[in-house]
């Protein structure tokens, strides 16, 4: 539901990320530190610091925080101001981070792991979702597809590099299939919605609000999947920004918690805010809010284990090229301070 037109670039995002990552890795540690510094991190002492906060998707606490101007109020006390941007998914957000246009945001497991594998300049600063039931496989209501194995050879739409992509790889692996066994169509969610409605896709793997919206309309049904797939969500900070402005990273997390608590305590108002941003009826959004709960915590062992298992699976499937220890990318010091 993003206002920024990233859709035309979606097919090239992961390639661009990999190319930039190669350049960064080839420059050595010293060059990497200087080349990845954001504009906000370069602000002279005494000048107002610009903090680039990116919203990933539409229904999340950052949307509430922007509407309520929570960051504007909090950052003003620290001589900082917010520059907002919005992206339909993680891969284009990572592209902007590499270009120095994102300092703080959050990612699903697919984008976070791909970015870390490619040594992009960010660190994980908190857990914002346990990632239960983040993705669903939708098919047209009259489709002959009844079970997961029926996807073999079919046209399956999803946004590459996202939580939906990781979900597909995991559930196919459990029944002895690979991603190459389906005809994958790379589409951001809004484009996939149009393709699904026009019959151009046999199946679509996506997240809410698209799942609830299509099921409520009777336009789709969900394919049952026995595998439990955990897809933890990660709050992130651009590496150099976090080093130069740790107090702003802590404040970012404090306000995120404030927005999360507000969303939970005022679901009707939050639903109206999301309705204005997404154009999805508040009643549908309320359904989603009633079965989900934003969190802010340090990375739990269960979440770390889930992410590491995903790293291993994606490496085995050649989705990523470089293995790494997910825990090594996590810096819990900021969220520990924010939650005091």
CATH of the domain at 266: 3.40.190.10
The DSSP element (H or E) to which 71 belongs, if any, is: helix 70-76
Final residue in a domain of this structure, among 222, 252, 273: 222
Q: Write the Ramachandran bin of 314: left for phi over 0, alpha for psi from -120 to 50, otherwise beta.
A: alpha
Is 2 inside any structural domain? no
Sign of CA dihedral 85, 234, 63, 249: negative
- 322 in the same domain as 173: no
pLDDT in tens, 219-237: 899 999 988 889 999 999 9
Mean pLDDT of the chain: 88
The confidence band for 134, taking pLDDT boundaries of 50, 70 and 90, is confident
Q: Which domain holds residue 216?
A: 136-222
- 212 in the same domain as 259: no
Of 14-23, 65-74, 127-136, minimum mean pLDDT range: 14-23
- 291 in the same domain as 334: yes
Is 179 inside any structural domain? yes
Look at residue 291 in the predicted model and tell me its pLDDT.
82
- 76 in the same domain as 180: no
Look at residue 5 in the predicted model and tell me its pLDDT.
41
Looking at the DSSP assignment, which residues form a beta bridge with residue 221? Answer: 139
- Count of the separate structural domains present in the chain: 2
Is 95 inside any structural domain? yes
The confidence band for 45, taking pLDDT boundaries of 50, 70 and 90, is low
The pLDDT of 295-314, averaged and rounded, is 95
Q: Pick from 275, 122, 151: which is nearest to 213 by CA?
A: 275
Over 90: is that where the pLDDT of 22 sits? Answer: no
pLDDT in tens, 248-287: 999 999 999 999 999 999 999 999 999 998 888 999 999 9
Is 242 inside any structural domain? yes
- 211 in the same domain as 185: yes
Distance CA 201, CA 74 (A): 45
Distance CA 100, CA 84 (A): 13
The DSSP symbol for 46 reads T
The DSSP element (H or E) to which 222 belongs, if any, is: strand 220-222
- 302 in the same domain as 191: no
Distance CA 181, CA 188 (A): 21
The confidence band for 46, taking pLDDT boundaries of 50, 70 and 90, is confident
Residues 6+ apart with CB under 8 A from 261: none
- 207 in the same domain as 262: no
- The beta-carbon contacts of 278-284 under 8 Å, at least 24 apart in sequence, are 278/1, 278/58, 278/59, 278/209, 279/1, 280/1, 280/209, 280/213, 284/209, 284/212, 284/213, 284/216
What's the CA dihedral at 290, 295, 300, 306 to 10 degrees?
Answer: 50
pTM for this entry: 0.82
Q: In angstroms, how far is CA 327 from the centroid of its own chain? A: 18
Is 168 inside any structural domain? yes
pLDDT in tens, 54-108: 999 889 999 999 999 999 999 999 999 999 999 999 999 999 999 999 999 999 9
Is 1 inside any structural domain? no
Distance CA 319, CA 316 (A): 8
Over 70: is that where the pLDDT of 336 sits? Answer: yes
- 238 in the same domain as 114: yes
Give φ, ψ of 222 to 5 degrees. Answer: -95, 140
- 109 in the same domain as 34: yes
The confidence band for 293, taking pLDDT boundaries of 50, 70 and 90, is confident
Is 100 inside any structural domain? yes
- 124 in the same domain as 28: yes
The confidence band for 19, taking pLDDT boundaries of 50, 70 and 90, is very low
Over 50: is that where the pLDDT of 41 sits? Answer: no
- 236 in the same domain as 155: no
The confidence band for 18, taking pLDDT boundaries of 50, 70 and 90, is very low
């Amino acid at each position: 539901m993003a206002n920024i037109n990233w859709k035309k670039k979606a097919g090239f995002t992961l390639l661009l990320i990999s190319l930039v990552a190669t350049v960064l890795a080839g420059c050595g540690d010293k060059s990497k530190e200087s080349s990845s510094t954001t504009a906000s991190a370069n602000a002279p002492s005494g000048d107002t610091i610009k903090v680039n906060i990116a919203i990933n998707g539409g229904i999340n606490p950052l949307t509430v925080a922007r509407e309520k101007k929570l960051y504007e109020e909090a950052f003003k006390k620290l001589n900082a101001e917010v520059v907002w941007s919005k992206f339909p998914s993680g891969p284009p957000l990572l592209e902007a981070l590499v270009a120095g246009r994102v300092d703080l945001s959050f990612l699903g497991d697919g984008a976070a792991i791909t970015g870390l594998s490619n040594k992009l300049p960010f660190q994980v600063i908190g857990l914002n979702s346990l990632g239960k039931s983040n993705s669903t496989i939708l098919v047209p209501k009259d489709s002959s597809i009844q079970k997961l194995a029926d996807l073999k050879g079919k046209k399956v739409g999803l946004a590459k590099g996202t939580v939906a992509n990781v979900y597909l790889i995991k559930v196919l692996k459990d029944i002895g299939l690979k991603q190459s066994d389906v005809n994958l169509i790379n589409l951001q969610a809004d484009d996939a919605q149009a393709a699904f409605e026009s019959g151009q896709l046999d199946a679509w793997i996506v997240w809410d609000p698209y799942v609830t919206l299509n099921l409520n309309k009777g336009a789709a049904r969900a394919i049952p999947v026995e595998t439990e797939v955990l897809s933890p969500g990660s709050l992130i900070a651009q590496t150099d920004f976090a080093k130069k402005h740790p107090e702003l990273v802590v404040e970012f997390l404090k306000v995120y918690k404030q927005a999360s608590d507000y969303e939970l305590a005022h679901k009707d108002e939050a639903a109206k805010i999301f309705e204005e941003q997404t154009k999805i009826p508040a009643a549908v959004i309320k359904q989603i809010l009633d079965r989900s709960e934003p969190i802010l915590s340090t990375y739990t062992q269960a979440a770390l284990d889930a992410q590491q298992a995903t790293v291993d699976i994606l490496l085995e499937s050649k989705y990523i090229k470089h293995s790494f220890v997910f825990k090594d990318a996590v810096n819990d010091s900021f969220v520990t301070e924010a939650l005091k």
